């Protein structure tokens, strides 16, 4: 039974609640009142006002900044793009800076194009002048530098092509199903972002050596084909500038004023490049929000923005704290969520918009109930004419946590846009083998399903399927999987596994779908656990989360046949909806991860999965469970770092909402009862009753104690089982994910 069917104005389980206050309203004074006509630069601000650009006090201060380093802490929805463009115009129009000496760095081509357009529309500036400013992404700017020095490589920008190349290398090495290509490429990218190459990759274990060989072969392939990818551009440019003093000096002379957007997302190599060319004058103007640092998994280093003042002691710090996007009630909640973070620049946003609608909260029984209620609410608002589908965004923490919403939208035929590959949950690499076990129980001759499950039997796909098809031609049987028993070179344990699996598949169709999946998982989990390569390239918590979500999806079905038919229906209807997704500006709901939503805004936001184990994610809670495995100081910092990034995700999600915010917290997840997210409960908890939100235990449950290597890096949650006696004699080793130091510890699994 659903715990709480209606959206309410407080989290359902709050007992003695501390009401969340609305954000303070801004005084709305702008340059019209703040810049006197008698001031030397008044004409610049008057001309901006004629174009409808009225800057507030802090925006004026940032625009007027001339020499030396400046850190602009731009809160969510505070008009940072306006500041960057206005300051660029100010340098040219008022300070008479040569536009050729200005560099404006963004993180996306779309942002760069928007900056150019806005600058060209400023009073006194033309498209011709704007074109002389160097505006672009890190990659486009430094690729131009490489080309000017004779580099002629073609850009390898297609992720599909990169992954396909790695797949071919894996196939050559007979490792088709051993690694995820995208994960291997992410490991390589992580090294390059820290100014390292694949030669720096550790090679102590056989798996590390294997990964190193695969990635080295990928690097050779690029070189042989005269290709360069985005990471290579920055690494080559860095080495070039370090090596060629004359080139570096010419860059420093040319670019006397450097402006950088999204500074919180900067990684080490990007910072080093900017640091090099901004010397000696350090006219470096960076704009960012440390409260929106959510890409550390992608290489972003939060210390770059947090330690900026230490690196540049004469930094001018300006805080843009007026939010022009959301209502005072939404900003009030956002402020009280993020204030629990310790490692941040203190700032409290104030609002410009009022509303009678506070944020609303829902406590459904499960993610499926959550999906039903959210779709009901959206459908009602669209049918009564108060909203259209494109007004809504549904945010989720991970792709697997969107499964229930995705299913509901597809089955009900509601138009929506998803920003993933477009495949359903059931077509994911981790999920498909489980579902194909069910298919085989209904259709034993389904060769495609047999091919999918072969890796779980530790049998090479190509070799196994070739043998089955050849044997089936000579000796047709109803259950072709049995032909595997005659495969040459099988070990005894593999023969036993095949026999057991055949029996398992035969029995599945008579079980309830949930029970059938639990039985499949017994062997599938063992496969994942035993496969050391998978342990390195798949995040364990993500895998467990995905497998648990399969069970949740099956719970409402009575037979395996019903469940498989439902899955086929979802897949088919999803294909039909592809045409809707291709229409520009389609009237459709947006469904995306919180990470993907950064920088966007919507009239109505649904934040799903605001429960412990989802947001904050279980991987962050595991860091808390492991805080005693390494030194107390390092352990506590690691816990805090993991939880604080999750809290920033909650903050980013909340601040996407312009007019309405709905927060939903399922009561059950992965078969266990879970609390409402601490990020949502904490603001409602009276101060005297609050505990340290960062180090709250995930649970008191402990399972099997195992020895592990635990990464001590603040930004990496990597760990590996210690599997040999020789390993226990080592003092430490290098983390294969981040190259940090791993120390021995214990873990309960």
Task: Return binding residues for ATP.
Answer: 74-81
Portion of the chain with pLDDT greater than 70, in percent: 88
Long-range contacts of 556-563 (CB under 8 A, 24+ apart): 556/368, 557/512, 557/513, 558/512, 558/513, 559/509, 559/512, 559/513, 560/438, 560/441, 560/442, 560/508, 560/509, 560/511, 560/513, 560/516, 561/442, 561/509, 562/513, 563/438, 563/513
Residues with Cβ < 8 Å from 256, sequence gap 6 or more?
97, 101, 102, 281, 283
- Residues involved in catalysis: 80-81, 261-262, 292, 656
Q: 280 and 346 in one domain? A: yes
| Full residue range of the structural domain in which residue 375 is found | 1-20+359-422+583-696
Three-state secondary-structure class, residue 206: helix
pLDDT, tens digit, 9 for 90 and up, residues 164-190: 999 899 888 888 767 888 888 988 998
Listed residue (717, 692, 596) closest to 294, CA to CA: 596
**Is 542 part of any domain?**
no
Query: Tens digits of per-residue pLDDT, 509-554?
Result: 999 999 999 888 877 666 555 555 555 544 556 777 788 888 888 9
Residues 6 or more apart whose Cβ sits within 8 Å of residue 471? 480, 483, 486
pTM of the model: 0.84
| Same domain? 144 vs 243 | yes
Dist CA 361 CA 376 (whole Å): 15
59-113 pLDDT, tens digit per residue, is: 999 999 999 999 999 999 999 999 999 999 999 999 999 999 999 999 899 999 9
**The length of the chain, given as a count of residues:** 749
Q: Is residue 545 included in any domain, yes or no?
A: no
State the DSSP H helix or E strand holding residue 662, giving kind and residue range, or none if neither. Answer: strand 657-664
Which of 225, 245, 260 is the C-terminal boundary of a domain? 225
pLDDT number for residue 457: 82
Which pLDDT tens digit goes with each residue over 12-54?
A: 655 556 778 899 999 989 999 999 999 999 999 999 999 999 9
- What b-and-e string marks burial along 25-47, b requiring 16 or more CB atoms within 10 Å of the CB? ebeeebbeebbeeeeeeeebbee
347 and 238 inside one domain: yes
Question: Residues at the annotated binding site?
Answer: 74-81
Rounded Cα gap, residues 725 and 148, in angstroms: 54
Using the predicted structure, report yes or no on whether residue 623 has a pLDDT greater than 60.
no
**pLDDT average, residue stretch 711-734:** 70
pLDDT band at 699; cut points 50, 70, 90: very low
* Across 700-716, average pLDDT: 61
Q: Is the dihedral of CA 340, 343, 346, 350 positive or negative?
A: negative
Q: Both 671 and 710 in a single domain?
A: no
Question: Is 361 exposed, middle or buried, given 0-12, 13-18 or 19+ CB atoms closer than 10 A?
Answer: buried
Residues 256-274: pLDDT tens digits? 999 999 999 999 999 999 9
* 3-state helix, strand and coil shares in percent for the chain, rounded to the nearest 5: 50, 15, 35
| pLDDT tier for residue 310 given thresholds of 50, 70 and 90 | very high
Among the listed residues 208, 236, 232, the one whose alpha carbon sits nearest the alpha carbon of residue 219: 232
Give the three-state DSSP class for 474: helix
748 φ, ψ (degrees, to nearest 5)? -105, 120
Any bridge partners for residue 258, and if so which? 103, 284
Same domain, 614 and 718: no
Once rounded to an integer, what is the mean pLDDT over residues 340-354? Answer: 94
Give the Cα-Cα-Cα angle 722, 728, 734 (nearest 5 degrees). Answer: 70
**Across the chain, how many H-helices and E-strands are there?**
32, 23
Do the domain assignments include residue 571? no
Maximum mean pLDDT: which of 145-149, 473-477, 571-575, 697-701: 145-149
Contact 609, 615 (CB under 8 A): yes
Give whole-number Cα distances, 712 to 53, 202, 380, 634, 637, in Å.
48, 16, 50, 7, 10
Q: Are 75 and 319 spatial neighbours (Cβ–Cβ below 8 Å)?
A: yes
Same domain, 380 and 454: no
Over range 330-349, report the average pLDDT.
95
Q: What's the rounded mean pLDDT across residues 319-343?
A: 95
> Is there a contact between 146 and 251 (Cβ–Cβ < 8 Å)?
no
pLDDT bucket at 230, cuts 50 / 70 / 90: very high
The pLDDT assigned to 712 comes to 77
Total domain count, the chain? 5
| Distances 561 to 426, 446, 509, 512, 546 between C-alpha atoms, Å | 15, 15, 7, 10, 21
Count of alpha carbons within 13 angstroms of residue 524, beta-carbon side: 25
Tell whether 567 is covered by a domain.
no
- Return d(Cα 64, Cα 82) in angstroms, integer: 13
Q: Which of 361, 348, 355, 356 is nearest to 17 (CA)?
A: 361
3-state DSSP assignment of residue 735: coil
Give the CATH number for residue 62. Answer: 3.40.50.300
Q: Are 692 and 602 in a shared domain? A: yes
* Buried residues in 567-599 as b, exposed as e (16+ CB within 10 A): beebbebbeebeeeeeeeebebbbbbbbbbbbe
Task: Give the full edge-to-edge strand order of the sheet including 102-106.
Answer: 134-137, 102-106, 257-260, 284-288, 70-74, 316-320
pLDDT reading at 629 higher than 70:
no
Distance in angstroms (rounded) separating the CA atoms of residues 662 and 358? 9
What does the block give as tokens for 643? 């939880």
pLDDT tens profile 569-588: 888 888 877 777 677 788 99
User: 476: burial class by Cβ within 10 Å (0-12, 13-18, 19+)?
Assistant: exposed
Does residue 562 lie in a domain region? no
Q: How far apart are CA 677 and CA 9, in angstroms?
A: 16
- For residues 642-666, give the mean pLDDT: 95
Distance CA 581, CA 7 (A): 30
Average pLDDT over the chain, rounded to whole? 86
Q: What is the pLDDT of residue 630?
A: 41
- Do 525 and 436 fall into the same domain? yes
Question: Using omega within 30 degrees of 0 as the cis cutoff, is the peptide bond preceding 280 cis?
Answer: yes
pLDDT (tens digit per residue) in 381-437: 999 999 999 999 999 998 878 889 988 898 888 988 887 766 888 998 889 999 999
Do 454 and 391 share a structural domain? no
Q: 628 and 748 in contact (C-beta within 8 Å)?
A: no
Q: CA 612 to CA 480: how far, in whole Å?
A: 45
In angstroms, what is the C-alpha Rg of the chain? 28
Q: Is residue 566 part of a domain?
A: no
SS (H, E, C) 138-202: HHHHHHHHHHHCCCCCEECCCHHHHHHHHHHHHHHCCCCCCCCHHHHHHHHHHHHHCCCCHHHCC
pLDDT of residue 626: 45
Residue 416: φ, ψ to 5°: -150, 155
Please check whether residues 340 and 416 belong to one and the same domain: no
Residues 499 and 592 in one domain: no
Share of the chain above pLDDT 90, in %: 53
Distance of CA 108 to the CA centre of its chain: 16
726, part of any domain:
yes
Tell me the average pLDDT across 611-626. 76
570 in a structural domain = no
Confidence of residue 702 (pLDDT cuts 50, 70, 90): very low
The average pLDDT across 679-684 equals 90
Element (H, E) at 632: helix 632-654
Do residue 617 and residue 711 come from a single domain?
Answer: no
């Amino acid at each position: 039974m659903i715990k709480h069917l209606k959206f309410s104005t407080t989290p359902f389980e709050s007992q003695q609640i501390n009401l969340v206050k609305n954000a303070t309203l801004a005084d709305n004074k702008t340059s019209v009142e703040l810049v006197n006509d008698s001031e030397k630069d008044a004409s610049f601000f008057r001309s901006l006002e004629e174009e409808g650009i009225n800057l507030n006090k802090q925006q004026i201060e940032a625009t007027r900044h001339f020499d030396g380093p400046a850190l602009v802490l731009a809160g969510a929805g505070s008009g940072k793009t306006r500041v960057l463009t206005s300051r660029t115009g100010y340098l040219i129009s008022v300070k008479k800076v040569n536009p050729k000496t200005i560099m404006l760095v963004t993180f996306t081509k779309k942002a760069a194009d928007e900056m150019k357009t806005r600058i060209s529309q400023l009073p006194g500036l033309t498209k011709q002048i704007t074109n002389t400013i160097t505006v672009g992404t890190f990659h486009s700017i430094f690729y131009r530098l490489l080309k000017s020095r004779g580099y002629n490589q073609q850009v390898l920008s297609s992720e599909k092509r990169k992954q396909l190349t790695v797949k071919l290398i894996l196939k050559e090495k007979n490792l088709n199903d051993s690694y995820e290509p995208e994960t291997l490429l992410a490991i390589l990218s992580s090294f390059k972002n820290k100014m390292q190459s694949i030669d720096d990759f550790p090679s102590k274990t056989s798996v590390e050596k294997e990964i190193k060989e695969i990635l080295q072969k990928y690097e050779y392939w690029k070189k042989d084909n005269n290709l360069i990818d985005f990471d290579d551009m920055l690494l080559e440019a860095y080495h070039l500038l370090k090596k060629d003093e004359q080139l570096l000096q010419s860059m420093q002379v040319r670019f006397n004023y450097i402006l950088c957007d999204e500074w919180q997302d900067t990684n080490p190599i990007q910072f080093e490049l900017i640091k090099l060319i901004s010397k000696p004058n350090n006219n470096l103007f960076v704009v960012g929000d440390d409260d929106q640092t959510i890409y550390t998994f992608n290489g972003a280093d939060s210390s770059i923005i947090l330690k900026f003042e230490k690196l540049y002691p004469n930094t001018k710090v300006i805080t843009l704290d007026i939010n022009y996007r959301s209502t005072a009630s939404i900003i009030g909640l956002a402020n009280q969520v993020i204030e629990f973070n310790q490692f941040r620049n203190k700032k409290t946003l104030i609002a410009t918009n009022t509303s009678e609608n506070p944020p609303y909260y829902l406590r459904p029984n499960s993610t499926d109930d959550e999906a039903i209620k959210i779709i009901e609410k959206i459908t009602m608002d669209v049918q009564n004419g108060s909203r259209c589908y494109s007004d809504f965004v549904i945010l989720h923490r991970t792709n697997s946590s969107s499964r229930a919403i995705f299913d509901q939208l597809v089955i009900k035929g509601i138009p929506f846009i998803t920003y993933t590959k477009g495949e359903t949950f059931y077509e994911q690499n981790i999920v498909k083998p489980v579902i194909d076990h069910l298919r085989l129980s209904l259709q034993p001759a389904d060769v495609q399903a047999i091919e999918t499950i072969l890796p779980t039997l530790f049998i090479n796909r190509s070799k196994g399927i070739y043998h089955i098809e050849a044997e089936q031609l000579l000796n047709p049987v109803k259950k072709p999987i049995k032909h595997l028993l005659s495969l040459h070179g099988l070990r005894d344990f593999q023969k036993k596994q095949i026999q057991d699996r055949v029996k398992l598949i035969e029995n599945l169709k008579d079980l309830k779908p949930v029970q059938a999946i639990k039985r499949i998982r017994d062997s599938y989990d063992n496969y994942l656990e035993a496969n050391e390569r998978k342990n390195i390239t798949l995040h364990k918590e993500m895998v467990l989360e995905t497998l648990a979500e399969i069970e949740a999806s099956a719970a409402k079905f009575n037979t395996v046949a019903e469940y498989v038919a439902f899955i086929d229906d979802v897949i088919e209807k999803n294909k039909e909806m592809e045409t809707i997704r291709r229409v520009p500006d389609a009237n459709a709901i947006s469904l995306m991860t919180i990470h993907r939503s950064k920088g966007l805004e919507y009239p109505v936001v649904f934040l799903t999965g605001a429960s412990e184990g989802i947001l904050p994610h279980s991987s962050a809670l595991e860091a808390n469970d492991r805080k005693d495995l390494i030194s107390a100081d390092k352990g506590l910092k690691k816990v805090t770092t993991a939880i604080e990034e999750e809290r920033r995700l909650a903050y980013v999600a909340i601040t996407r909402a312009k007019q309405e915010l709905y927060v939903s917290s399922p009561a059950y997840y992965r078969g266990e009862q879970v609390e409402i997210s601490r990020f949502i409960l904490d603001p409602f908890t009276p101060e005297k009753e609050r505990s340290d939100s960062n180090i709250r235990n995930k649970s008191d449950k402990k399972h099997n104690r195992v020895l592990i290597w635990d990464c001590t890096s603040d930004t990496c949650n990597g760990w590996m089982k210690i599997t040999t006696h020789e390993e226990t004699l080592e003092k430490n080793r290098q983390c294969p994910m981040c190259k940090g130091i791993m120390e021995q510890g214990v873990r309960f699994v």
